[in-house]
Structure 1
Amino acid sequence: MALQIFETDPDARPAPKVKSEYTRPAFTFRSGMQRNRKPVKLDNWRIVAEELEPLKALAELLGGTAEEYSASAREPFHVLTETDSVEIVIDGAGAVEERMILWGPNGPIHECDGVEFLSPADAKGKPCGCPKELDQRKAWAQQGRGPKPNIPIRFRLAGLGYELGFGLLRISAWTFLPDLDPLKAALAAIDGEALCTLELEHISFINDKGEKIEYSKPKITVQGAYADAIAEER
């Protein structure tokens, strides 16, 4: 005889588990690193991973040496590549997520879309209390009082196929926000996977104090349908 406890209390029945289409990324692209706890700007892409093997294939394609850089890091292996531009494949606008996150020692303590909370479940949809003005949002984030952009983008490298798994680019730069909507629109306009160029755009200028400011930001250019690009190569 089968148990019928959920027949008497259907609200307590566990929801069916939905298998995610994606697992953990095989590798993550980063535009910088830390040395002696200080951020270091890089001229080329840096790739980190939990396992060494994926990085060996990436090093063959993009240059550099796959090695362990920090035994205590969650992704302890990296390769400092020899390129600031790579061709990637993005599967639609759904591969680009948008959120604002303030991280605490054990995970996100504030997650919103800039206006309403995205989590936790009991707060989802409620006003998040973030400032309306962009400059004030940046100031709060800098002071550790408010969230900053957290934009994960899933992709795979063109020319490597699916066997390596997918990569992740997690963008936190405020300067990327004006590019976000045009990128998603360009991806949505393509039926299927899009062939894109992912590059580090190097910015340099003199500020009002006469100081030279240099930084790099990710730039993604949608070239067109990946299927069309493959057909042209045949």
Structure 2
Amino acid sequence: MGRLSEGRPQALDSWRVTTDDADVAARVASFLGGEPQPNEGGGGGLAYEVLTSRESVRILLDGHAAVASRMVLRGSKGIIHECDGVEFLSPEERQGQPCGCPPLLEDRKLAARDGRGPMPSVDITFQIAAAPELGLFHFMTASWQMAAQLSDLTDALERVNGPAVCDLTTELVVYTTKAGRGVCYRKPVVTVLGSPGTVAPEPPLVPGPRSAPAPSAPRRKATSAPESTTPSTPESRHSVSVDAVLLRRAAQVLGTGDHQETVVAALSEVVAGRQQTTELTRLRVQVGRIAAIAEQALHGGDSSLT
């Protein structure tokens, strides 16, 4: 989700992939957009990077074992605390003993912020759904948002009971603080869609800041993103249900009380910034992508989105 640019951290609007294999880099670019280039943005010393055109990548997870999570506190000489939130994982003589971490996620965040407690360390091992022959990839993050969704993620993977098709998304979050300050950032989200064979292997291409060739693998035709902020008349009760879910999620982020207030708050925050046109376009595209995913799931008999 980021890289180093001239020695400074840089957040990205779309996924970045690093690899030591030139052929893999070229194949990733053909599926996800972008061009292979020398890796000058950090990433474990891997030789190549691809700055893709995708905010969302469709992936395959081999059950809940594909998601590894731990809590880690590092010092000047290495790891000084490693646990699973309940018991120590290391050193060997302390394995299984209570680690003393607070049970609530918010309390853990406060302890980590003050340097008294560990941070999440999440490692998701996956294949690209459109090209599983490329082998295994890793997404590693210390995101508290990802840590908060791990329980729901592993439950969803267990319900699939086997390999699962998922979307790995860098999701835009926009909100206004109590002090009236606009905040905009991206968080990683994994959405479980279903088992292979019931879900298209590739999500619709989301236009990013860079132009990119169209992926070579066939994909299901996506629903076009709306051109107006005025809600259109739903064609079925399914689309109404999906809209309601999206509005509830937005209300939770924005702290608003009703649907009208939620829409006004979200749009006012977007248009207030200098990048108003770009951000509004991205929001529209995201809505179109979500609608396409929902349509595929509903046609496949998956009622989880309703």
CA contact (8 A) 2:127 2:137 kept: yes
SS in structure 2 at match of 1:129: coil
Match of 2:168 among 191, 195, 198: 198
Judged with a 3 Å threshold, the aligned counterparts in structure 2 of structure 1 residues 88 and 80 are, in CA distance, closer, same or farther, namely same
The corresponding residue for 2:52 is 81
The corresponding residue for 1:180 is 150
Q: Which runs of 5+ in 1 are unaligned?
A: 1-30
Q: After the TM superposition, which residues 1-234 of structure 1 pair with which residues of structure 2 at under 5 Å, given as runs?
A: 31-70=1-40, 73-104=44-75, 107-162=78-133, 164-229=134-199
How far 1:229 moved relative to its partner?
A: 4.2
Q: Which runs of 5+ in 2 are unaligned?
A: 201-218, 220-306
Spell out, residue by residue over 1:49-97, the C-alpha distance to the aligned partner (whole angstroms, 9 max, x if none).
Answer: 2343322210111111111233985234211101101111111011111
- Counterpart residue type for residue 189 of structure 2: K
CA contact (8 A) 1:50 1:75 kept: yes
Identity rate, percent? 37
Judged with a 3 Å threshold, the aligned counterparts in structure 2 of structure 1 residues 50 and 217 are, in CA distance, closer, same or farther, namely same
- Counterpart residue type for residue 157 of structure 1: I
How far 1:132 moved relative to its partner?
A: 4.4
Judged with a 3 Å threshold, the aligned counterparts in structure 2 of structure 1 residues 71 and 39 are, in CA distance, closer, same or farther, namely closer
Which whole-Å CA distance do the structure 1 matches of 2:161 and 2:72 have between them? 31
- Counterpart residue type for residue 88 of structure 1: I
RMSD after superposition? 2.3
How far 1:34 moved relative to its partner?
A: 2.8
CA contact (8 A) 1:193 1:227 kept: no
SS in structure 2 at match of 1:189: helix
How far 1:167 moved relative to its partner?
A: 0.7
SS in structure 2 at match of 1:181: helix
CA contact (8 A) 2:4 2:41 kept: no
CA contact (8 A) 2:5 2:41 kept: no
More helix by share: 2
Alignment TM-score, normalising by the size of structure 1: 0.76
Determine which structure has greater relative contact order: mean sequence separation of CA pairs < 8 Å that are 6+ residues apart, divided by chain length: 1
Alignment TM-score, normalising by the size of structure 2: 0.59
More strand by share: 1
How far 1:172 moved relative to its partner?
A: 1.5
Which whole-Å CA distance do the structure 2 matches of 1:107 and 1:88 have between them? 32
SS in structure 1 at match of 2:160: coil
Judged with a 3 Å threshold, the aligned counterparts in structure 2 of structure 1 residues 142 and 76 are, in CA distance, closer, same or farther, namely farther
Which whole-Å CA distance do the structure 1 matches of 2:77 and 2:7 have between them? 20
- Counterpart residue type for residue 201 of structure 1: E
